[in-house]
Structures are given as structure tokens and as C-alpha cells.
Amino acid sequence: MNKIIILIISCISLTSCENYFFSADKSSSNPYDNFEYLWNELDKKYSYFELKNIDWDEMKTTYEARLYPNMSETELFNTLADLMNELRDDHSNLVSPFNVSVYNVPLTKPANYHARTIDEFYIPHAERTGSFKHAMLSGTNIAYIRYASFSDDISNTHLDYLLDKYRYTDGIILDLRDNGGGSMFNIPMLLERFIDSRTLVAYTLTRNGKGRNDFSDRATFYMNPYEGTRYTKPIMVLIDRGSYSATTFFALSTKAIPNLTLVGDTTGGGGGMPNGGQLPNGWTYRFSISQLLDLDGNNYAEDGVPPDILVSFDWTDLTKDEIIERAIQEID
């Protein structure tokens, strides 16, 4: 498991798993050289051409026509960024000294998270332990734990404190709404606390051939139970369209763990693991090179993991969070 997670982390950064720097005789500021290099790298490694029905050859014709000798760096950047945005993938980025391209996956549904409602009406006296905000919910024997970003560090000391503090509760609400992802290392640190035995949670496929639908054999992702304090009572995991990338991976993994239930809305997606490299002119890039599958082999994580219980936030009444209320009902 550790080897798998380390491999993933190494491919998340904007640096390449291949040679990162070009030698002096191979570096080039020529727009045609840089376009050709980026298009070919994507052609060889991008993982979602077929799933997203992208005609990559047509994209080459369309965007290559925008090139001309001595075009400005800004014009070249915009052309390459527009090419990458055809992937419709939040894990695709182009980075130059003067700009960073980001494809923002459109939110197809209203937001389902309002921090002030929670702070004022559910956890007004919350504790903060490391990256977690938490409290008992008034009138219940249920704990609420907010984890805002998988980029925020998790320590076993903090998890020991939380799970020991709430060991006699009837259940926990783990709020991952509006959590845009972050470090893959933090996924097993959480999940291993919620299982009693080694558990297969997901598969991945990685591009490995010339064909745009050529992939490796399935790689397995197992979670091993933590040897110390664990919690295996009901856990309601709250998600919405703002739950992206690592949070999508976490959400999909819960499908294999019986005491975890997803409540809220479909996650924002981002199931592909990114890898990157450097163009001849020194700009860097990244894009998805793998696909994430559930235990039945279904490939939906790139578009989002659906909840087990669909609930929407009612923005006409900011004194109540319908998603938390439904999670309480499920535990009670």
C-alpha cells in the first residue's frame, strides 16, 4: 500500500516522472516545437480521450492553425492553455513565469455548504485539533468533524485524540464538503481508522501504450487497519460538488467500507491521477494519466462520485443545514 501511495504522490506534482530538464541543445522557444511537444505528450499519456469523446487529431489541426513564427509568449501560452482546456479536466495545468492555466469544472448544481450556518447553529463552541474542527452536536450523541482540505496535514496524534474523545458516541459526521483535495497520503491515514480488516477500495488504470485507449492492467488499492485507536460505528461522510480530486478518491473508497455512508451531492470529480513535465521553452504542465475505478470496474469518478443519500442545502433558511440534519437522522 505504501508503495502505491508514494507512486501516486510522485505523479501529482508539476514535475515529471521522466527527465525534467532539457539539455541546452534541445531547449527551444519556437512555438511549433513547443506545441508539437505538448500535443504529443498528451497524445501518448492522457487517460480520458475516449471517455470524454475528444477528437485529439481535430484539436491539433484547430490549434496548430493559430501558430505563427515570432508570436508572443502570451499568445503561445493562450494557445497551449486553450488546447489543454479541451480536456475539460481540472488536473490539467500549464505553468509559465507569468501565468497559470486552470480549467475550472463548472458547478452544475448549487453549492451545498455554508460555513456560517454550521458555526453559528451547530458547533458554536467547536474545538480545533490540528486540521480538524469538531464538537458534539447539541441534543445528540453524535460528533461533528470538519476536514476542510486534504492539503492540510493529518497526524496520528490528532486522530488518536479525536477518536478517543468520541469513542462513546453513536456516530460521527465527517464533513468533506467544499474540500478541493490535496495530498493522497492523507486518504489512508483517515480510512485506516474506520476498518477492522484489510480492505480493497479501488482500482486504477494507467495509460501505457500508443493507442489512446491502451492501459495497464488494473492496479489494486488496499487499506490496512490502523494498529491503534479506530472507530467502526456509523460515519456519515458529507460531500458536494466542491469535493474534488483526493476527496473524490476518498468518497469512492467509502463504497467499500460498510460503516461509511455518503450524504449530500455528487462530488466534483477529478478521478485521474496527474503527471507532468517541462516544455522545451521551460514551461511546466500536468494532466491526468490514469483512471479511477470502483470495485465493479465502473469508471465514473472523473465526473464525480454520487452520494448514497442525496440531500440539498436549502438556501432560503440559513439557520439549518439539511445535509447535517439528514446525517443525524441516519445515525439516530
pLDDT-based confidence at residue 270 (cuts at 50, 70, 90): very high
Q: ∠ at Cα 246 (146, 303), nearest 5°?
A: 110
The pLDDT tens digits for 118-166 are 999 999 999 999 999 999 999 999 999 999 999 999 999 999 999 999 9
pLDDT-based confidence at residue 106 (cuts at 50, 70, 90): low
CATH, residue 313:
3.90.226.10
Residues 35 and 89 in one domain: yes
Of 79, 102, 125, the one marking the end of a domain is: 102
Counts for the chain of helices (H) and strands (E), in that order: 9, 14
pTM for the whole thing? 0.89
Of 58, 76, 102, the one marking the end of a domain is: 102
Residues 146 and 255 in one domain: yes
Domain presence at residue 128: yes
Q: What single letter denotes the amino acid at residue 86? A: E
Residues 98 and 121 in one domain: no
What region does 180 belong to: left with phi over 0, alpha with psi -120 to 50, or beta? alpha
* Per-chain mean pLDDT for the chain: 92
Cα–Cα distance between 201 and 188 in angstroms, integer?
A: 10
The pLDDT tens digits for 196-218 are 999 999 999 999 988 999 999 99
Residues 171 and 310 in one domain: yes
Phi, psi (degrees; rounded to nearest 5) at 234: -60, 135
* Contact indicator for 239, 262 with CB cutoff of 8 Å: yes
Predicted confidence (pLDDT) at residue 9 exceeds the cutoff of 60: no
CATH, residue 77:
3.30.750.44
Residues 35 and 160 in one domain: no
Domain enclosing residue 63, as ranges: 2-102
Coil vs helix vs strand at 29: coil
